[in-house]
């Protein structure tokens, strides 16, 4: 694929983000238009490796035909590249923006050179497809007369709905919030995924026959019995939404919030009123501490900077990752290396230093008159025991108190909300997720299926899409006895069941 000697001739060149000083003043997307010639060169770097590990268990969860569309972009065949991309990916404009690109981590070129810029190429293909008018409404060829309820409109629910609609089923998507998109609309800030792109896709799905119902909280204002009686099959794709807390002294103090509450309120206020209604947690002129070093933590950093926070510290209990792969982290495993994301970059420009502090354990929140004023921490080191298990050890005389007017907890999620699961009567596994085998997606209740984070636990958008496609295939087979839908190959790394 690509140019046989391209990987030796062209260096990796990522499409740059907008200037961090400028972009931190608004909520527009951080991306800049890609240069076609540079994209062709990046496509040329795809090295005809024989075994495309970018599509392996360690690479793309939805089996994107990456070498094929890399080659087509190199040759300037953009429409053909779009057609190959959408054979496996329902929503490339989402994954091209928010996926961390495990495909790049597994790229064969990445053994000794920087990987192909697969994510940039994917994003550019779908953006060009919309610009050229190649993305068109596609009505199902025939109707099966079967009705399916999809509960949850995040990436798993939307992907399953799209697939099931293509199979000719009548699909209704229920969402408890006031907008369709789940995590995509309120969990990911506008500067990383413009809601105009999400709305464009939802409008297209609706034009193809999918019915969307908002403000429908199943088990609260619509009973689960009503749903089971009205539909031939049900897919629970409600996500993993119970946030992990930090139970230390002083946690009851005001101005300590879960990250998702902070992000959700900000985006809702932004969409409703351009923040003029004031219905959000404001970081302006505050000393902000974000606890947690993942994508959600980065989004909190970037959002607080746009509010005009006074200072920013991002704390992480884990050790600082190396700049290059360690010996215990060989290719094609996901590279556990230090990455500077868009929020870190903006914070460094605003305050003069990287906001991240590693190997810190939170010990106690301090407060005055009920309001948080600071956080006491201690430095730790990670020690490997004889059995190989890593344990934390506090380092003496490293206690410190950090000023804080606002603390955001970005510690991940521990599972789905239980009420709807109990109402449907589905079994729960030993960690609180829906007990449903990957690849089958069935529950103990006949006709009720599950997919996404509610089944597998907190994960990536692209994994939610993998499960949405797989669940759609399972539901189609359940209703019809066989299916013509395609789905990703079973990923061995996901077989936790």
Beta-bridged to residue 381, according to DSSP, are 393
Structure-token pair, residue 61:
């969860």
> Cβ distance 413 to 389 under 8 Å?
no
Reference 371, options 408, 407, 411; nearest CA is: 407
Tell whether omega for the bond before 405 is within 30 degrees of 0, i.e. cis: no
> CB neighbours of 355 closer than 8 A, spacing ≥ 6?
290, 301, 312, 313, 314, 344, 347, 348
The Cα 239–Cα 380 span in angstroms is 33
Within 13 Å and on the Cβ side, how many CA atoms surround 372?
27
The Cα 380–Cα 469 span in angstroms is 42
Beta-bridged to residue 361, according to DSSP, are 378
Within 13 Å and on the Cβ side, how many CA atoms surround 179?
19
User: What kind and span of H or E run contains 335?
Assistant: none
Q: What is the mean pLDDT of each run of 10 residues along the chain (497 residues)?
A: 86 97 98 96 92 92 95 97 97 97 95 95 98 95 96 98 98 98 97 98 98 97 96 98 97 98 98 98 98 96 98 97 92 94 98 97 98 98 89 96 98 96 97 96 98 97 97 98 89 53
The distance between the two most distant Cα atoms of the chain, rounded to a whole number of Å, is: 71
Give me the domains of the chain, ranges plus CATH numbers. Answer: 6-132 (1.10.1060.10), 147-241+414-494 (3.50.50.60), 246-411 (3.50.50.60)
The Cα 30–Cα 19 span in angstroms is 8
Helix (H, G, I), strand (E, B) or coil at 372: strand
Structure-token pair, residue 384:
């490997």
> Cβ distance 316 to 356 under 8 Å?
yes
What size, in residues, is the chain?
Answer: 497
> Cβ distance 128 to 213 under 8 Å?
no
Which phi and psi angles does 378 have, rounded to 5°?
A: -140, 145
Reference 44, options 12, 15, 85; nearest CA is: 12
What radius of gyration, in Å, describes the C-alpha atoms of the chain? 23
Reference 361, options 414, 315, 321, 397; nearest CA is: 315
Eight-state DSSP code of residue 312: E
The Cα 193–Cα 433 span in angstroms is 28
Reference 465, options 160, 205, 173; nearest CA is: 160
> Cβ distance 298 to 339 under 8 Å?
no
Residue 68 has a CB neighbour count (10 Å cut-off) of 19
> Cβ distance 258 to 409 under 8 Å?
yes
The distance in angstroms from the start CA to the end CA of the chain is 37
Reference 8, options 113, 82, 102; nearest CA is: 113
The Cα 34–Cα 37 span in angstroms is 9
Give me the pLDDT at residue 494, please. Answer: 56
Reference 367, options 377, 375, 359; nearest CA is: 375
Structure-token pair, residue 4:
């046989």
Reference 343, options 379, 376, 307; nearest CA is: 307
Eight-state DSSP code of residue 184: I
Torsion of CA 182, 25, 278, 309, to 10 degrees: 100
Give me the pLDDT at residue 492, please. Answer: 61
């Amino acid at each position: 694929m690509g140019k046989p000697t391209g990987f030796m001739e062209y260096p990796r060149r990522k499409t740059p983000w907008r200037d961090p000083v400028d972009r931190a003043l608004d909520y527009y997307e951080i991306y800049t238009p890609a240069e076609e010639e540079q994209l062709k060169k990046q496509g040329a770097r795809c090295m005809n490796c024989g075994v495309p590990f970018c599509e392996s268990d360690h690479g793309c969860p939805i089996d994107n035909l990456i070498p094929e569309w890399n080659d087509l972009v190199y040759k300037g065949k953009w429409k053909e590249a779009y057609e190959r991309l959408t054979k496996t990916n329902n929503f490339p404009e989402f994954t091209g923006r928010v996926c961390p690109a495990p495909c790049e981590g597994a790229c064969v070129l990445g053994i000794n050179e920087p990987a192909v810029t697969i994510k940039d190429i994917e994003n550019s293909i779908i953006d060009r497809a919309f610009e050229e008018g190649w993305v068109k409404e596609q009505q199902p060829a025939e109707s099966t007369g079967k009705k399916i309820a999809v509960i949850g409109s995040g990436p798993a629910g939307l992907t399953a709905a799209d697939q099931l609609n293509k199979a000719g089923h009548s699909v209704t998507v229920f969402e408890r919030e006031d907008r369709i998109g789940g995590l995509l609309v309120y969990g990911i800030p506008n500067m990383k995924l413009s809601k105009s792109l999400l709305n464009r896709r939802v409008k297209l799905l609706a034009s193809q026959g999918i019915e969307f119902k908002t403000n429908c909280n199943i088990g609260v204002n619509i009973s689960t019995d009503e749903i089971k009686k009205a539909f031939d099959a049900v897919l629970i794709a409600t996500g993993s939404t119970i946030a992990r807390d930090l139970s230390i002294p002083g946690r009851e103090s005001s101005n300590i919030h879960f990250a998702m509450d902070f992000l959700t309120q900000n985006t809702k206020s932004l969409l409703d009123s351009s923040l003029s209604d004031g219905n959000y947690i404001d970081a302006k002129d505050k000393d902000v501490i974000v606890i947690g070093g993942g994508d959600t933590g980065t989004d909190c950093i970037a959002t607080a900077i746009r509010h005009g926070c006074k200072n920013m510290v991002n704390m992480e209990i884990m050790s600082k990752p190396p700049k290059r792969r360690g010996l215990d982290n060989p290719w094609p495993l996901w590279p556990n290396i230090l990455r500077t994301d868009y929020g870190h970059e903006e914070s460094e420009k605003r305050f003069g230093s990287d906001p991240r502090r590693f190997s810190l354990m939170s010990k106690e929140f301090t407060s005055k008159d009920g309001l948080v004023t600071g956080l006491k921490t201690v430095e730790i080191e990670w020690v490997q025991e004889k059995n190989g298990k890593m344990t934390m050890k506090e380092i003496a005389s490293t206690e410190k108190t950090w000023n804080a007017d606002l603390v955001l907890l970005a510690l991940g999620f521990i599972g789905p909300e239980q009420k709807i699961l109990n109402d449907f009567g589905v079994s729960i596994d030993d960690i609180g997720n829906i007990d449903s085998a990957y690849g089958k997606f069935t529950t103990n209740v006949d006709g009720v299926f599950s997919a996404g984070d509610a089944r597998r636990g907190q994960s990536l958008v692209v994994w939610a899409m993998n499960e949405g496609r797989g669940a759609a295939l399972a539901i189609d087979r359940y209703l019809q006895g066989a299916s013509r839908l395609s789905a990703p190959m079973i990923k061995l790394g996901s077989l936790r069941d």
